[in-house]
Amino acid sequence: MSNVQETQVRLISDFLFLILFFMLIGVWLVMWIGLHVAGGLIHLLLIVAVISLVLHLVRGRSAA
């Protein structure tokens, strides 16, 4: 393999590595943001569940 061909192969492999790197960073960023939103929603659901439990206990069995 000539020196020019080796340089071209190295450039292509470096370019592919950079594409893979930025794709993985992008996926990581999307998942990080998504999990933060999902974590907030889970906490919101827990608050709603606790409030409904407290209301159920305060109203007693007659309201059920």
Indicate if the pLDDT at residue 62 is higher than 90. Answer: no
Of the candidates 12, 50, 35, the one whose C-alpha atom is nearest the C-alpha of residue 4 is 12
Domain extent listing, the chain = 3-63
The per-residue pLDDT for range 2-39, each reduced to its tens digit, is 788 888 888 888 888 889 999 999 999 999 988 888 88
Instruction: Identify residue 30 by its one-letter amino acid code.
Output: V
- CA torsion sign, 26 to 31 to 34 to 39? negative
- Sequence length of the chain is 64
| Residues contacting residue 1 through CB under 8 Å, at least 6 positions apart | 9
List the alpha helices (DSSP H) in 1-64: 3-59
DSSP reduced 3-state for 62: helix
